[in-house]
Amino acid sequence: MGDRKGRSVRQSDLDNLKLACTPESRAKARETMITSGSLERTSQLIRQKALERYQNPEARLVTANALRNSPKVVGPHGSIRRAGDAARSPEACAKRSKTRKEQCKDPIYVKNWSRGAHLKPNKLELKLTSILEDLFPNQWAYTGDGKMVIGGRIPDFTNVDGKKQVIELFGEYWHKDMFEMANKTYHYQQYGYDCLVVYENELKNEKRLASKLRKFSRR
């Protein structure tokens, strides 16, 4: 076996290449990149280059023409889609959803993902953090950044005073599903945790919210 320059490729080189391509090796490499900060720098560079390209009218025109001239695909009901739309097909979305759910069962994956995403509390979460600290000093901690993973899910707040309790804060925009509260409550119950859901509009009446939190704390 040889390359373009006539040099032979040793079997040991191929074995090392195969070893480097294993999921374990890729996960270890990603962990090293996250720890060293190189992953964040690479992500920032990619975003910067993408922004520069978007700000270039000629580059936008090239992208638009490429999408306009891409092959057409006939959908299941006769609808016309572009080839690039295949990634947004129901089948592709279902496949990604299944893969994501399997990945989220691994606490290490979830922690690494949340660390790489640099999750931080938003304004609503900061307000609830302040309320919890006033009512129950040193009893609750913000864990929406991945410090706590329960069955592949990350609770927004976790009791750190010996009780198996979590709190989820639902914003009006992201949590419109009427069944989501029941799903999350049931999920945490499977792991022995009581879950309280606080809605964004409840933060407007701190007196009523304090009563709700005290009642939950007494369980």
Establish if 198 belongs to a structural domain: yes
At residue 58, the pLDDT reads: 80
DSSP E strand stretches across the chain: 72-74, 80-82, 140-142, 157-159, 165-170, 194-199
Q: Are residues 202 and 154 in the same domain?
A: yes
At residue 182, the pLDDT reads: 81
Q: Collapse the DSSP code of 207 into the 3-class scheme (helix H, G, I; strand E, B; otherwise coil) and give the result.
A: helix
pLDDT digit string, tens, across residues 36-68: 666 667 767 777 777 777 677 787 777 777 766
> What's the CA gap between 97 and 71, in Å, rounded?
26
- Which range marks the domain in which residue 31 is found? 12-69
Q: Are β-strands 140-142 and 157-159 bridged in parallel, bridged antiparallel, or unpaired?
A: antiparallel
Establish if 29 belongs to a structural domain: yes
Q: Are residues 131 and 194 in the same domain?
A: yes
| Domain CATH for 169 | 3.40.960.10
Q: Are residues 33 and 84 in the same domain?
A: no
CB 68 within 8 A of CB 60: no
| Whether this model's pTM surpasses 0.75 | no
Establish if 90 belongs to a structural domain: yes
Query: Which range among 58-67, 111-120, 138-147 has the greatest average pLDDT?
Result: 138-147
- Specify the number of domains making up the chain: 3
- pLDDT: is 44 or 148 the higher one? 148
pLDDT digit string, tens, across residues 168-180: 998 876 665 666 7
Establish if 3 belongs to a structural domain: no
> What's the CA gap between 96 and 89, in Å, rounded?
11
Establish if 203 belongs to a structural domain: yes
Establish if 112 belongs to a structural domain: no
Q: Collapse the DSSP code of 159 into the 3-class scheme (helix H, G, I; strand E, B; otherwise coil) and give the result.
A: strand
Site of tokens 């992500």: 43
Establish if 163 belongs to a structural domain: yes
Size of the chain in residues: 219
Q: How much is the average pLDDT of 87-97?
A: 67
Give the end of a domain, one of 25, 53, 69.
69
Establish if 61 belongs to a structural domain: yes
Q: Are residues 77 and 154 in the same domain?
A: no
Quote the distance between the C-alpha of residue 144 and its chain's center: 11
Q: Are residues 78 and 57 in the same domain?
A: no
